[in-house]
Structure 1
Amino acid sequence: MLKLNQKEVLMKKPLSVVLSSVMVSALFLPVNAAAYKVVEVTNGGTITGQVTFAGSEADAKKHTKVYTITKDTDVCGTGKREINYVKVNKGALNDVVVYLDKVKKGKAWPEDEKNATIDQKGCEFLPFFTVMANKGELTAINSDPVAHNIHTYAIIGKAKKTMANVSQPVQGSQVTKTVKLKKRSTGLKVECDQHDFMHAFVFVAKNPYYARVAEDGSYTIKDIPPGKYKVKVWHGYLKDPRAKQVTVKAGQTKTVKTFEYKNKKK
């Protein structure tokens, strides 16, 4: 009996069967998410709320890490450097962003919030926490008379993935990189490969519906088109609470139940 190989079998199949197989396979190919669309928002709704920390300020200080300065002490200082990864103000957690997830269309991005700049001064990242837009530009400036090496990582759950690793050997050097994070990541950890005591965080927004909390933990997100949304929070160091489902009505203000962070690292 004549045996046919796999290629010959495929060639002998009816054209309709082959096309059907191709169409079925296409259903399982990855599809790129639609880009955010800017539309006019009239009589939009508002979301407000607060972000708190379940522990005391003493509990927050347990997340402070102490590093020994052993290099470039004439610029970086001497002794120890403390990094407060969890900052609490009278029960309110700071350095947190509240945002709406997977918003397809709405208000325009504020131009002054699309990009971000981090300065390296006194062997410290300034600011320690900042916000920018996905596909925006992150600029790093070296204001010190010593070499720095800025290293950015996308935070993906408990893992980190290198996004940029650039040497800045001289004072005044400046580097700008476009930040493009995939859906599983919403923030960056920033470190210096020259100085292990330099750390910072960047929240990378996928749409303009976000707010950095105030010192008292409060936040407000405005001009939201009516609809159902998933509200999330992001802290670079602590494990984020579960999202909350919220229905926003035209012209109305919705207060979201308080997000409470437990005393748990990511």
Structure 2
Amino acid sequence: MKKTIVLSAIMATAFCLPAVNAARYKVVDVTNGGSITGKVIFLGSEADAQKHKKVYTITKDTDICGTGSREVEYVKVNKGALNDVVVYLDKVKKGKAWDKKNTTIDQKGCEFLPFFTVMANKGKLTAINSDPVAHNIHTYAIIGKAKKTMANVSQPVQGSQVTKTVKLKKRSTGLKVECDQHDFMHSFVFVAKNPYYARVAKDGSYTIKGIPPGKYKVKVWHGYLKDPRAKQVTVKAGKTKTVKTFKYKNKKK
């Protein structure tokens, strides 16, 4: 039987960072919107990407978590294309409706599933413990090279579930997720401030549609690597604009 953990007012406050000077996004009808398309690549070999892989020793709950070690690939490259990346438009005040606002992370086999996901700012993040062992989900807002704790919630029994609205400050666009019970459990969440974003495909390509005509700043986000500079683009009604390729150097945030 599932057991829901109810957060206290203090814990709920710890789970959220209040938005500061964040303009409210307004949903409007977009007719004859434009699109942007492009690609994201990694400037290095797949061997270089593998250097960011970390190996953790499994020291507890081996009947569920497995024995030996756990490898975590923080940088995933497919034939030169960088994966687990989001391309997004910065500071869009109004436009199309959201396709997705909420997300769920499952703790199964002592692993966060999925490893990378997306959600909307002020959307709901649900964490489920599907294992018959205790987990402790610990979320951090990624702010440049720093991390700031947002939540630190124990989920001691199988089936326990916690859901909370996530609100990030202006400086942060993503979360790092860890388990304080198992140091080999890691995950990332991109938190969108508007619905104009796209997770890149395995070949590094992306397309963002339904954009109102105008000038925009295009950015990229990877949870582990240092992000390249933003690019300025002008979107015309009914037209597709190809953005110059984003190139990630082999550098950690």
Counterpart secondary structure, 1:59: helix
Is contact 2:104–2:127 with CA below 8 Å preserved after alignment? yes
Structure-2 residue corresponding to 1:256: 243
CA distance in 1, matches of 2:69, 2:81: 27
Q: Following superposition of structure 1 onto structure 2, how do residues 3-82 of structure 1 map, counting pairs within 5 Å? A: 32-82=21-71
Cα deviation, 1:52-82, whole Å, max 9, x if unaligned, reads 0000000000000000000000000000100
Q: 1:90 aligns with which of 40, 56, 79?
A: 79
Q: CA deviation at 1:34?
A: 2.5
Q: CA deviation at 1:261?
A: 0.2
Q: Following superposition of structure 1 onto structure 2, how do residues 109-258 of structure 1 map, counting pairs within 5 Å? A: 109-110=98-99, 113-258=100-245
Q: CA deviation at 1:174?
A: 0.4
Counterpart secondary structure, 1:74: helix
Paired letter, 2:62: T
CA distance in 1, matches of 2:101, 2:97: 11
CA distance in 2, matches of 1:232, 1:181: 17
Structure-2 residue corresponding to 1:104: 93
Determine which structure has more spread, i.e. the larger CA radius of gyration.
1
Task: Give the count of matched residue pairs.
Answer: 234
Structure 2: gaps spanning 5 or more residues: 1-19
Counterpart secondary structure, 2:63: helix
Q: CA deviation at 1:177?
A: 1.3
CA distance in 2, matches of 1:206, 1:240: 17
CA distance in 1, matches of 2:174, 2:139: 10
> What TM-score results when the alignment is normalised by the length of structure 2?
0.92
Q: CA deviation at 1:33?
A: 3.5
CA distance in 1, matches of 2:24, 2:33: 21
CA distance in 2, matches of 1:168, 1:249: 49
Paired letter, 2:83: N
Flag as ranges the 4+ runs of structure 1 deviating above 3 A.
none
Structure-2 residue corresponding to 1:14: none
Q: Sequence identity, in percent?
A: 91
Paired letter, 1:62: K
Paired letter, 1:51: V
Counterpart secondary structure, 2:158: coil
Higher helix share: 1
CA distance in 1, matches of 2:227, 2:248: 7
CA distance in 2, matches of 1:249, 1:71: 56
Is contact 2:28–2:96 with CA below 8 Å preserved after alignment? yes
Is contact 2:21–2:170 with CA below 8 Å preserved after alignment? no
CA distance in 1, matches of 2:164, 2:69: 31
Structure-1 residue corresponding to 2:9: none
Higher-RCO chain (CA-CA 8 Å, sequence separation at least 6): 2
Counterpart secondary structure, 2:89: strand
Paired letter, 1:53: F
CA distance in 2, matches of 1:237, 1:129: 11
CA distance in 1, matches of 2:188, 2:21: 27
Paired letter, 1:86: V
Q: CA deviation at 1:131?
A: 0.2
Structure-2 residue corresponding to 1:21: none
